[in-house]
Amino acid sequence: MAGCCAVLAAFLFEYDTPRIVLIRSRKVGLMNRAVQLLILAYVIGWVFVWEKGYQETDSVVSSVTTKAKGVTVTNTSTLGFRVWDVADYVIPAQEENSLFIMTNMIITVNQTQGFCPELPDKTTVCKSDANCVAGSSGTHSNGIATGRCVLFNGTVKTCEVAAWCPVEDDSHVPKPAFLKAAENFTLLVKNNIWYPKFNFSKRNILPNITTTYLKSCTYDAVTDPFCPIFRLGKIVESAGHSFQDMAIEGGIMGIQINWDCNLDRTSSLCLPSYSFRRLDTRDVDHNVSPGYNFRFAKYYSHLTGAEHRTLIKAYGIRFDIIVFGKAGKFDIIPTMINVGSGLALLGVATVLCDVIVFYCMKKRYYYREKKYKYVEDYEQGLGGEMDQ
């Protein structure tokens, strides 16, 4: 109890104030200056020069529109001679910040509602009606089973389904890609950006770009780094992939536009920077369900009035346009905050040197004696003398 009272009294009735002690030591002096120089280098070099700690920053607000161009021709037994333009291979016509280009497909023509044999696999091959369950449908079924076992071809029987007939057979993906010429199609990307905090806006079609130049240029990182028209094959190759391989099964490419702007400089130096990467990473060791595909149908009516459709399983490349960046401009508030933080950090040098001097050096006890001095209450001393 007495010990607790003594600690409480020391806490309540003692006051300590810093005492300056000048230690003449080359080792300690050099260490102190070295730590101070490191802190100054960090504050000036990293905080102010590299990170621009004197600036207020804002994140980019962006809008993107795209337009593809290119024409090719195919000649197949299923479709015959056919010309393909933008309206045929861009699906859908408009998306938000992305564009899908169909490069390959499996087409099933003249489908009608009816009854037909299911594709043969381990769950659909049958020998009699007893092997088929009426009304059943698996995850990968093309229709609803009727319960009958019918001929698929001359040697194989499968369960009959009520479906769009004939059912689609997607077991063999066309190689090379159906629209392999898409490699030479072009994509125009129009990007408008705005920094609301600074009321600054700009677009990637720069003021010095003329209509004549825009009709003839194609993006190149060296010769035409600000041309907003990209050749599809160049985009994929820039990400380290083969366009023809990617066109077979499809995939997702990212077109990254980076706007890092220093608004303390002229606005003409605020320029877009383009980079490309594949977003659906292909892992050779785990190649289950690769690529990108989906189905859509085109419906029409026969002269007899029966509804028909052409089913297309489309493989292709989706281009996602990703815009990011920040802008900075001088502001006194972040400047003063970082200056104050830097001055506070200089105190670290003193703390580090005190730790070494008072706990690590040979003369630590001598230095402690010089650093700390205990003084009794002057008023209590005078009171004692008067009582005598």
Domains of the chain: 22-54+331-366 (1.10.287.940), 59-111+181-328 (2.60.490.10)
- Residue 368 marked as a ligand binder: no
Residue 78 — pLDDT band, cuts 50, 70, 90? confident
Locate tokens 């129009």: which residue? Answer: 190
Q: Count Cα neighbours of 356 within 13 Å in the Cβ-side half-sphere.
A: 15
Alpha carbon distances (Å) from 7 to 14, 224, 368, 380: 10, 76, 22, 20
| pLDDT value, residue 11 | 66
- Residue 370 marked as a ligand binder: no
CA dihedral 46, 48, 53, 59 (to 10 degrees): -70
Q: Which of 197, 196, 215 is nearest to 205 (CA)?
A: 215
- For residue 18, say if its preceding peptide bond is cis, omega within 30 degrees of 0: no
- Residue 326 marked as a ligand binder: no
Average pLDDT over the chain reads: 88
Q: Count Cα neighbours of 129 within 13 Å in the Cβ-side half-sphere.
A: 5
- Residue 309 marked as a ligand binder: no
Q: How many other CB atoms are there within 10 angstroms of residue 379's CB atom?
A: 7
- Residue 373 marked as a ligand binder: no
| Residue 273, C-beta contacts closer than 8 angstroms, at least 6 positions apart | 225, 257, 258, 259, 260
112, 187 contact by CB (below 8 A): no
- Residue 67 marked as a ligand binder: yes
Pairing of strands 186-195, 229-231: antiparallel
Residue 388 — pLDDT band, cuts 50, 70, 90? very low
For residue 386, pLDDT beyond 50: no
DSSP assignment letter at 125:
B
User: 26-41 and 347-359 are packed helices; what angle lies between their axes, rounded to 10 degrees?
Assistant: 150
- Residue 215 marked as a ligand binder: no
Q: Which amino acid is at 34?
A: A
- Residue 364 marked as a ligand binder: no
C-alpha to C-alpha distance for 141 and 116, rounded to whole angstroms: 12
Q: Tell me: the pLDDT tens digits for 298-353?
A: 999 888 888 999 999 999 999 999 999 999 999 999 999 989 988 888 888 888 88
Q: Where are the alpha helices (DSSP H) in the chain?
A: 2-13, 26-41, 86-89, 211-216, 232-238, 243-249, 332-345, 347-359, 364-371, 378-387
Q: Tell me: the pLDDT tens digits for 201-224?
A: 999 999 999 999 999 999 999 999
Instruction: Look at the pTM and tell me if it is higher than 0.85.
Output: no
